[in-house]
Amino acid sequence: MTTIRHTWDVTPAEAIALQKELAGRVEQVRLTAAVETIGAVDCAFLAGGKQIVATAVVMGAKSLEVIARAYAVAPVKMAYIPGLLTFREAPAELEALAELPVEPDLLLVDGAGRAHPRRLGIAAHLGLWLPMPTIGVAKSRLCGEHRAVGATRGSSVKLLDEGEVIGKVVRTRDHVQPLYISVGNRITLEEAVAWTLRTATRTRLPEPIRAAHHMAGELKKKLA
């Protein structure tokens, strides 16, 4: 299995160059192993944006019951720049994932996967670094265009950029803002959409992401 390693201490120009050379390593292929557990990572900011709290959760793929949780606090090293979100959030999220007692079989990431200007959003980048397949679940569009999405749950349309399908805009709840789903790594777009709908049972966001997001919010209050 191929996984990457590199420093996160880079300049914006170096970050862009890194994304360009790594994008070609993403594998859009069908899942090979059974998915028994699903995880998610998210984060929140502390101390006026000086520190980041990353959270990671693991749930049973069928029960959607939490099996494990972990978190990590780290200093923020880069400002938010559209397209370079990864270099701001990924280091802390990787630390939180490393604290988990068990690794999930599939990981949902808050942000874009291949639906990125250079085809390497945070979900794809983390997918190259980690061993399990990943899915990018973004709440809004970073790039690409698409037709109007049907108003009911399950409706979806292709997200296109420069003539290629980079993701899918998916409605997970009737009359609620759609999600921008894209391949992270080691999964197909169809499977990514299917797992998103399968885990977004009661709300717009998939349960694992909701749990990770909620945990980040609680820690933000608790850690000041």
List of residues contacting DNA (CB under 7 A): 42-45, 49, 80, 82-86, 110-112, 116, 121-123, 136, 138-143, 174-175, 216-217, 220
Minimum distance from residue 86 beta carbon to DNA (Å): 5
Comparison of 110 and 191: residue with beta carbon closer to DNA: 110
User: Smallest Cα–Cα separation from 126: which of 145, 112, 144?
Assistant: 112
Minimum distance from residue 76 beta carbon to DNA (Å): 10
Minimum distance from residue 95 beta carbon to DNA (Å): 16
Minimum distance from residue 213 beta carbon to DNA (Å): 7
CA 7/CA 70 separation, integer angstroms:
23
Residue 73 CA to chain centroid, in angstroms?
A: 19
Residue 58's contacts (CB-CB under 8 Å, 6 or more residues apart) are 37, 38, 39, 66, 67, 68, 69, 100, 102, 103, 104, 208
Comparison of 79 and 102: residue with beta carbon closer to DNA: 79
Comparison of 33 and 112: residue with beta carbon closer to DNA: 112
Name the helix (H) or strand (E) containing 138: strand 134-138
**Cβ pair 53, 223 in contact under 8 A:** yes
Comparison of 19 and 37: residue with beta carbon closer to DNA: 19
